[in-house]
Amino acid sequence: PRADDAELAIQGSYYRSGQDMEEYLKRNPDSALAADVYWTKGQDAFAAEDFRTAARAFERVTLDYPGSESGPGALFYLAESYYRLEEWEQALAGYRNFTTTHPDHDLVELAHFRAATMYFQLERYADAADAFEHLRDLYPRGEYAALASYNASIAYQNVEDWPAAIGSLMLIIHDYPESDKAAGGWLQIAALYQEEVGNYDEALKAYAKALERGEAGPSEIHYQRGQCLERLTRVDDALAEYEAGGNGRDDFALAALSRIAEIHEKRGNWNAALAAYQKIASSGASQDWVGMAEGRIEFIRQEQAAGR
């Protein structure tokens, strides 16, 4: 016991004096202070954003002192150091090791989230979607649950699994309505139905919910609903949507007016077409819009003058 006390006193002297503790540890690798020294070195380097040095120190703890008190934290921060270095494969391996060996650690939820993010960074989108959903299933009320569902939707979109992408967005709306990821959810769902799935009836329903929740300006939603109705060959209903959305000066309102004019032109309703184009011409919009409208106005007047 006295020999042990003497050894601890020597170690403490090195530690307090700032002498080369690592040199001492090379000669005495079983020192009780070893894990703490490398852990502290790793933490200091991590705080200084010297992630390469931090990784080496944390790795030393994980390899040589895995059973120490700082062992689990060192394993997480080893992965985190690789994450900050953007070395995704090494980071992924570290996070997976951590979640497997320390499933009850305070940092395990974050480690699951990081591992899923690594899959995404590596463009392994199907694996990323599975990992994000697994995280949400493990911690449905956790800090990252809503974000994980949103990221799963993005991953599904990258592999063009549109039903799964829509399902993830709907889950956010229903299970995490207060999350910032729920904002704009119906608008995103509507766009996926319209642009990717081609299910215009479902898109119309989703746009109606987006309008009710104020997720976008009325002109945008009415214009997109008009587009869906045209694809369903419900042209008169589309006209009603365009008229509801054509009262502003933003690009969606101008696009709605343009479609009103084009539909009436096609039907030979010159006066109705002129009225829509004149609204665009007098809107104070960009020269592209105004020039287009003025050109069509001139053409229609020529047609009227020719009795056509």
Residue extents of the structural domains in the chain: 33-121, 123-216, 218-308
| Chain segment 112-129, per-residue pLDDT in tens | 999 999 999 999 999 999
Query: Class for domain 218-308, per CATH?
Result: mainly alpha
Query: Are 65 and 34 contacting, i.e. CB atoms less than 8 angstroms apart?
Result: yes
For residue range 241-279, what is the model confidence (pLDDT) as tens digits?
A: 999 998 888 999 999 999 999 999 999 999 999 999 999
Q: What values do phi and psi take at 81, rounded to 5?
A: -65, -45
pLDDT of residue 9: 44
Name residues of the chain where pLDDT drops below 70. 1-33, 308
What fold characterizes domain 123-216?
1.25.40
pLDDT at 36: 87
Question: What's the confidence (pLDDT) of residue 248?
Answer: 83
**Residue 37 has what pLDDT?**
87
Identify the pLDDT of residue 14. Answer: 47
Query: Residue 231 has which token pair?
Result: 């694809």
Instruction: Give the pLDDT score at 32.
Output: 52
| Domain range 33-121, its CATH number among 1.25.40.10, 3.40.50.9100, 2.60.40.10, 3.40.47.10 | 1.25.40.10
CB 293 within 8 A of CB 281: yes
